[in-house]
A and B are shown apart, each in its own frame.
Chain A
Amino acid sequence: MADHAAHDGHKLEIFRGLVKFKSNTQKIWGVLIFLSIVTIVEVALGYIKPDILNNSILGLKYLNWIFIILTLVKAYYITWDFMHMRDEVKGLRRAVVWTGVFLIIYLIAILLVEGDYIYEVYKNAAVSFDF
């Protein structure tokens, strides 16, 4: 059965040691506050939609890049601190995370390129699709 000694060894630092917590419970609340702030920022940006963020880079608006990056940040802290990935050994971490990240990036890249191609086909087609 699971040995309890291993569980007491929670790593209690986040932001690469910038913020340290005294107990695991305290860390949970800390991460909750951080995730809430990120979500509030996302909603505020989505509500205000500042004009300067409407320019795009690499085919995507700055605003959308910010949303995606903030989402990945949230995903990281949910996985690392709520799911305790931070406390797992390197091998387990990599087996799960690297596999997922690699396959997902591959899938997204392929499907988005294909979607864009079909958009071009529709757009340049000899027949109209709007009638």
Chain B
Amino acid sequence: MDSTVATTGTEDQVWGGGNQPLKASYGKLMMWFFILSDALTFSGFLAAYGFSRFKFIEEWPIADEVFNHFPFLHGTDAPMFYVALMTFILIGSSVTMVLAVDAGHHMNKKKVSFYLLLTVIGGLIFVGSQAWEWANFISGEYGAVKTKGGKILQFTDAEGERVALDEFVVVGERSVEALSNSEGVWYQSDEPYNATYTIDEVRKGFQANPDLRIRTQQLIVNEETGASEKLVLSREESLFKLNNQAVGVVEGANLTENEYGAPLFADFFFFITGFHGFHVFSGVIFNLIIFFNVLLGTYEKRKSYEMVEKVGLYWHFVDLVWVFVFTFFYLV
């Protein structure tokens, strides 16, 4: 260190250089300030989510009804259990990371590599879980209908239980017309060629089942419990809405529409969990690089496992962000 500092005659004074007022190495400090700026990026996303939610405060989807899948429990209503499991996986991999850092302080190469490997595995399980979560979200479960104004109408029975489109809609004939060479066009956009149902088929099915009702996006307060729930229309209102205002069928979710409610809901879901998932993925890559360096003995030779500590900081940050995403996307 001393050899890189020019001698100025002020070495023993405060401004002579060589002070470390924050008692942390350059790398660690920079990691902290990167984390700070990344935290502000995530805050920007989550605050924007809050902005949109406040803007549509009376019609935002209820997260419990959207994220209620659990592997191997198909059809059971298991709100949040899966994301809770994902939270435990991530906190668990955070613990193995901090154990790796601790082993690094004791220069225990075997333990560092073992815990780092566990951390990588935990991270991979988490990313995989997120993929499963996305797949469920994208494919959807019940299907819905959208109105001219872009609002989503869902279907329930007389008791208010959700009904999926495939339970009452009969798929009619699809006339497939072969175009000859002279009529062939590169792209046709007037009718979605792969839609399962047309709006007319939904109307027909709805008319044939007098039990069915329409559930709007509108949130109302239950007088007895004080809980928020979605407004279910009477049969007459339902028929009026479906016959006069509905324009198309929505199945699952994409960036322009989704069967859960406001389009922004899916947009934020993809964006925020996607950005977080990308962080987890890059964290896994960093951890792997460090893991191989540990195996090669790089830090043994360096006599310091500080690199483990630095990627550890990043990894814990990813866990920290998930804690907030979990709360604001799934709980609140």
Q: Cβ of B36 and Cβ of A100 under 8 Å apart? A: yes
- Would you give the 0/1 interface string for B46-80, flagging 1 where the beta carbon is closer than 8 Å to chain A? 01101111111110000010000000000000011
Chain A residues within 8 Å of chain B by Cβ, number: 60
B273 close to chain A: CB less than 8 A? no
User: Is A13 engaged at the interface, CB distance under 8 Å to the other chain?
Assistant: no
Q: Which of A49, A82, A118 interacts with B55 by CB under 8 Å?
A: A118
Task: Evaluate contact between B54 and A28: CB separation under 8 angstroms.
Answer: no
Across the interface, do A115 and B227 meet the contact criterion of CB distance under 8 Å? no
CA distance A67 to B327 in the complex (A): 7
A107 touches B47 (CB 8 A): yes
Name the distance in Å between A102's Cβ and chain B's nearest Cβ: 11
Residue B125 lies at the interface, judged by CB distance under 8 Å to chain A = no
- What is the bound-complex CA distance between A54 and B221, given in angstroms? 10
Chain B residues in 8 Å Cβ range of A112 = 47, 50-51, 54
The number of residue pairs between A and B whose CB atoms lie closer than 8 Å in the complex comes to 163
B91 close to A39 (CB less than 8 A): yes
For A108, the chain B residues whose CB sits under 8 A away are 43, 47, 50
Within 8 Å of chain A (Cβ to Cβ): is B316? Answer: yes
Which residue in chain A gives the minimum CB-CB distance to B39? A100
Bound-complex Cα distance A116 to B53 (A)? 9
Spell out A's residues near B (CB within 8 Å).
1-2, 4, 6-8, 24-25, 28-29, 32, 35-36, 39, 42-43, 46-47, 49, 51, 54-55, 64, 67-68, 70-71, 74-75, 78-79, 81-84, 88-89, 91-92, 95-96, 99-100, 103-104, 107-108, 111-112, 114-116, 118-119, 122-123, 128-131
* Nearest 9 Cβ contacts at the A-B interface: A115-B54, A54-B226, A115-B51, A111-B51, A71-B327, A131-B149, A92-B22, A43-B84, A111-B47
Other A-B contacts than A71-B326, A88-B22, A111-B47, 15 sampled, CB-CB below 8 A, are: A28-B102, A29-B95, A32-B92, A35-B91, A43-B84, A46-B331, A75-B320, A81-B98, A88-B23, A92-B22, A100-B39, A100-B43, A108-B47, A112-B50, A131-B148
